[in-house]
Structure 1
């Protein structure tokens, strides 16, 4: 059983270096990266335009642009520990992740890439999980692995750890919030070594040396769900990271499964709430396998993009910039509403938003929502 994606691109060494420089430069995220590549035709051309675009967006000084020497050092360091940086469409890049509009332009992959090509199911849950919760998560992971699915999780304590250990023999993927040399929690360094030794893999979009911060975990969670056909939540309190993963899964069009728990246990409050909101209640691995069987029969198709990146960049009039800036604030606004209320063309609005983002003044949210960044 595999997800059947054929390689569609192969970056040259020079292109990979330029792509790495662009994605590591200040204020360039996955969506902005894609817009820049599509507008300017290459990462090298986009790199030349970054200072000008940031200046237009109101940046007091140009953002940091990673040099070729820095990018070469990162590539060399990755090679020393067996990490490959792959682009969407290259052999070994997870096919379901590749079609997302915020897929990492370069994904750092370590271990057996074959397990990333198989259909995957994510398992997440409480870090301080009960013994019963960990036992059930292990049972699900083992049976799903035996059925041919790769098990994806975040290498955290509790449910993540139980799912990884139970699926070592069948193949499991650890999604890291930091660089490959900055494992969190540190005591799971040995677990990661076992995963890699037994045919599993680890992935990250962060550079080597990056120590995970609180805001990196939601970014990591979108990769957990993006890799997978669906996300299984086993024990999650209200306002937990596992519920963020479930929400992202729903936004990405993935299935959301929840294991019910006692209403007396706060660790089950989040999973019980998910079931009320429409998540599929599951009692065993067979429930999950039955639910995803129709999805496996369909080809992997990209979602509807939030924007049309093929629109050319325009030099807006100053009053256009002023009007669009005045409509933005700390509260997220839908892109379609911004275009309609401003009276500007879609191309002009997207150009101004790109300039603001490269100046570090814009935040992009899910569902094509944008807001002005608030000072740290």
Structure 2
């Protein structure tokens, strides 16, 4: 894969930072227009046609250059999904994140990786297990990925500091949370790698952590959950890992401890039981690997509809949407319209803030 020109790379960053453009919409726009530059130019008209109430917030070239400069001042590096050294594991996602910021040693991202995640309010025994598991996996040649959170995440990073660990942040590459992990963050940035999908200087909000969790599972061949209550971000990471075709393992615990309910339920649902590094390494023996990286392909433009026909199709699709996710294929059947026209109309609805395109080909009302 040949790297992009400087102008296309800047446009790639602008498109990724545009309000309402998530990974799915980004991929659809790129496939439809053939380049990020062409997609950025088309955005205002697409959003207007779909009924967006106000102007679309598209970063200017100067703002994108400012983000690049901010990252460079931190010693960080931006890697776009169109670049040849974008991590293979993330490139295999459907769709991949458009870009990531990295600080430290990004070459670790293409080494064999295992994620260890779990409760923030973790037991001392759980933290000891996570620390020891990370050290054993590191000695077996695995890079340990986690989210730098309190509890299990921090313990996993500590256990793998000497052999290599990756911290994925919800905020910018310089957003250290919790603050008491500042020294741990600095050690990882020096000997491991810090990864973020957010711009430098950005402070994480609650809505950013599912996206962070998708990167954690996406970077990994297997995800091990050490402790988790029934409603926790760690279970979201496990679900994403299963959807991405990664191995999912869970550490069993006492039924009297609420922090074991999530992990025990994962085992009940078919996750592999993990009592040590040997269980993880055995699970990885059956891992089929990631698909070969493919260059973005240009999709033929959708059928040419009149203004009235396009508006009618968008309204018909908007009426079919609800808070319950539905597949794009189901919407094609329900709308009785050609698939390319439906896919294009859904992208326009997402740009207008009337729909949200989710990974896995699902759509919900915005």
Q: TM (normalized to structure 2)?
A: 0.94
How far 1:251 moved relative to its partner? Answer: 0.7
> Structure 1 residue 167 and structure 2 residue 160: aligned?
yes
Counterparts of 1:369 and 1:74 in 2: how far apart (Å)?
A: 31
- Picking from 176, 180, 199, the partner of 1:187 is 180
> Structure 1 residue 255 and structure 2 residue 255: aligned?
no
Counterparts of 2:299 and 2:24 in 1: how far apart (Å)?
A: 13
Q: Deviations over 1:180-237 (max 9, x none)?
A: 122211221211101122x200011101121111110011000000000010000100
How far 1:348 moved relative to its partner? Answer: 1.1
Q: 1:286 to 1:89 in 2, by over 3 A?
A: farther
Counterparts of 1:271 and 1:79 in 2: how far apart (Å)?
A: 40
How far 1:364 moved relative to its partner? Answer: 2.3
The match for 2:302 is 313
How far 1:107 moved relative to its partner? Answer: 0.9
Q: Deviations over 1:247-286 (max 9, x none)?
A: 0001111110000000000010000000000000011101
Structure 2, gaps ≥5 residues long: none
How far 1:89 moved relative to its partner? Answer: 5.5
How far 1:12 moved relative to its partner? Answer: 2.2
Counterparts of 1:321 and 1:163 in 2: how far apart (Å)?
A: 47
Counterparts of 1:268 and 1:303 in 2: how far apart (Å)?
A: 38
Counterparts of 1:291 and 1:186 in 2: how far apart (Å)?
A: 35
Q: Deviations over 1:139-161 (max 9, x none)?
A: 11000001111000000000000
Residues 35-184 of structure 1 mapped to structure 2, 5 A cutoff:
35-88=28-81, 90-184=83-177
Structure 1, gaps ≥5 residues long: 1-7
How far 1:93 moved relative to its partner? Answer: 2.3
The secondary structure found in structure 2 opposite 1:215 is helix
Counterparts of 1:302 and 1:251 in 2: how far apart (Å)?
A: 18
Counterparts of 1:196 and 1:319 in 2: how far apart (Å)?
A: 52
Counterparts of 1:183 and 1:271 in 2: how far apart (Å)?
A: 27
How far 1:315 moved relative to its partner? Answer: 4.3
Aligned length: 360
